[in-house]
Structure 1
Amino acid sequence: MSERKLEIVHPEIERYMGSLAESAQPVCDTVLEMEELARERDFPIVGRLAGRFLFQQALLLGAKRIFEMGSGFGYSAYWFARAAGGDVICTDTSPENAELAGGFMKKAGFEKKVRFFTGDAIDILTNTGGEFDIVFCDIDKEAYPSAFAAARGKIRKGGLFLADNAFWDGKAALPDGSPAAQGIIKFNKTAVSDPDFLTVQVPLRDGISVSLKLV
């Protein structure tokens, strides 16, 4: 049996939105370099459309403190750092990614805004003091429920929990039994039913879950 897949956004609409993003404000060479590296390594990044969305959300909140759970080599961190008035704390399990991210942030002029820690994102968040305006989640999908549980008490009232891959290539709607799909399904149900948050899933690329903390 062939694998069932769903188109989250029609390819023509995706191309149209991408062309609008590319014709908007120009991006620095660092963004182009990160995008090229992602293509060369087939490394997953949020992409420019989602990056601009994250940038917008951080601007709307006037975010001063942002925590990233799973930062790769810093692509999403770049968009947050453009908007943030203070710290962006990045995490990843790969020392190589941390080194690459540090170089990219320096090239972009954000080395004083961004701090990078290597290790388990949930553990690092749990052991980091204070509240955050935004917690962004892009770690292993089976860990999303645990990530949300760890982040709930770390987000200020009016802050956001943002999670990439909320549809997981359509497997949230057409489950394949994998741990990753089950993690996404459980997270989506938990976030939507949490009375302390107002959650919607934005159908941008592979879906971005946006949870606004109400209390």
Structure 2
Amino acid sequence: MRAAGPEHTPVQERMAEFAAEHRFPNIGPEAGGVLRTLARLTGAGTVFEFGSGFGYSASWFLRGGADHVVLTELDDDELDQGREFLADAGLADRCSFEGGDALDTVDRYDGPFDVVLVDHHKEGYCDALEAATPKLREGGVVVADNVMRGPIDFDAVLAHLEGEPEAIDADDEPSRAIADYLDTVCHDDRFETVALPVGSGLAVSTKVA
């Protein structure tokens, strides 16, 4: 998968080096290639991101031809770094940089969104889905990161989804939050969902009604 995946642009290579230096988790080029493809397949006009860090995922959506990406980030320094990286790539004019809580920010946008990325604090995934769904066009896509790796116990999440409700420790909030998100979106008749073992695991949900 890595060998067949896309190469970084020079600015994305700098982003990856920055992430490694600061021990900042980003989605990586394999998952980035999926985001690029989803932007291309949906003919994305507007992408909304719940959690953008310093703009790495946004750079992939923009490489896929997205007209506009709304980046949200609680950390002002990270958002400023993203603004700098995307300006260096010549992409900043296709971005909105929003500081603060993404759940507050999304209320200020009417949509329609073509793609939504959910990649902020895990306990907020279900709230992000609820907030974004009315503004996502039919045929649009929600992508949730970290459904297989990251700050979760994947074996426990999998066991929960396979019918063992006590599999997740009571104090393991990230794992519980990911399990709740997958339970919610997979049983929502408005979506068709598939989990892709790419990067840290992507849940890709297409709005069909």
Does TM, normalized by the shorter one, top 0.5? yes
**Superimposed CA distance per residue, residues 26-67 of structure 1 (whole angstroms, 9 cap, x where no aligned partner):** 432111100001111110100010001100111011111100
Q: TM-score w.r.t. structure 1 length?
A: 0.87
Counterpart residue number, 1:42: 23
What amino acid maps onto 1:183 in structure 2?
A
**Superimposed CA distance per residue, residues 157-205 of structure 1 (whole angstroms, 9 cap, x where no aligned partner):** 0000111011244152263441111110000000000011111111112
CA distance in 2, matches of 1:79, 1:150: 23
Q: Secondary structure at the match of 1:55?
A: helix
Counterpart residue number, 1:172: 157
Counterpart residue number, 1:209: 203
Q: How many angstroms does 1:19 deviate by? A: 2.7
What amino acid maps onto 1:18 in structure 2?
R
Percent identity, aligned pairs only?
Answer: 35
Counterpart residue number, 1:70: 51
Q: Secondary structure at the match of 2:93?
A: coil
Counterpart residue number, 2:2: 18
Counterpart residue number, 1:110: 91
| Greater shift in the superposed pair: 173-182 or 102-111 | 173-182
Q: Secondary structure at the match of 2:4?
A: helix
CA distance in 2, matches of 1:85, 1:76: 12
Find 2:116's aligned residue among 135, 149, 155: 135
Contact 1:38-1:45 at 8 Å conserved across structures: yes
Contact 1:145-1:186 at 8 Å conserved across structures: yes
CA distance in 1, matches of 2:197, 2:120: 19
Contact 1:158-1:214 at 8 Å conserved across structures: yes
CA distance in 2, matches of 1:148, 1:27: 30
Counterpart residue number, 2:139: 158
What amino acid maps onto 1:200 in structure 2?
V
CA distance in 1, matches of 2:200, 2:186: 18
| C-alpha RMSD of the superposition | 1.3
CA distance in 1, matches of 2:13, 2:111: 34
Aligned residues: 196
Contact 1:168-1:184 at 8 Å conserved across structures: no
**Superimposed CA distance per residue, residues 71-105 of structure 1 (whole angstroms, 9 cap, x where no aligned partner):** 00000000011123421000000100111001100
| Greater shift in the superposed pair: 168-177 or 151-160 | 168-177
1:200 and 2:194 equivalent?
A: yes
